[in-house]
């Protein structure tokens, strides 16, 4: 099996020993993305909708680098600090899909990298 590393300057650089995404066969595994603006390397914070929007834009950039889009996503995992933010996160998340939605779970966690409020990972096939 060939493993292809996917990286783009249009999403935040990894902050550890991992890649933005790895394509194995026709499946793309995207590492969890947090609300870092890749142009400024600054965290987007203070508004959960703005944070989620940035996360989704980062994911979009990685999908595009791999020649895919949100319609190729088959699985998402959303990690959030406060389940009370779920409806706002869900509202923003849903706007990025035009076809069928992927499978998904949403998990409240005790902490996320850099103290962010939301992180999303995805698996896409194409």
Chain segment 51-66, per-residue pLDDT in tens: 999 999 999 999 999 9
Please give the pLDDT value at position 28. Answer: 98
pLDDT for the residue 27: 98
- 36/109 Cα distance (integer angstroms): 19
Strands 21-24 and 3-6: antiparallel
Residue that wins the pLDDT comparison between 46 and 4: 4
Ordered structural domains, the chain, with CATH: 3-125 (3.30.1330.40)
Report CA 14 to chain centroid distance, whole Å.
Answer: 13
C-alpha to C-alpha distance for 1 and 107, rounded to whole angstroms: 31
pLDDT digits (tens, 9 = 90+) for 98-108: 989 999 999 99
Q: How confident is the model at residue 1 (pLDDT cuts 50, 70, 90)?
A: confident
Structure tokens, 120:
């999303």
């Amino acid at each position: 099996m060939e493993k292809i590393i996917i990286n783009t300057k249009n999403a935040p650089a990894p902050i550890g020993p991992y890649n933005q995404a790895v394509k194995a066969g026709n499946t793309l595994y995207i590492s969890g993305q947090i609300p870092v603006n890749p142009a400024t390397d600054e965290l987007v914070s203070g508004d959960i909708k703005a944070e989620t929007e940035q996360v989704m834009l980062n994911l979009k950039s990685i999908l595009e680098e791999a020649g895919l889009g949100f319609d190729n996503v088959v699985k998402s995992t959303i990690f959030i600090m406060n389940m009370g933010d779920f409806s706002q996160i869900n509202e923003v998340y849903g706007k990025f899909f035009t076809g069928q939605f992927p499978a998904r779970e949403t998990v409240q966690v005790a902490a996320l990298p850099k103290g962010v409020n939301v992180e999303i990972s995805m698996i896409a096939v194409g």
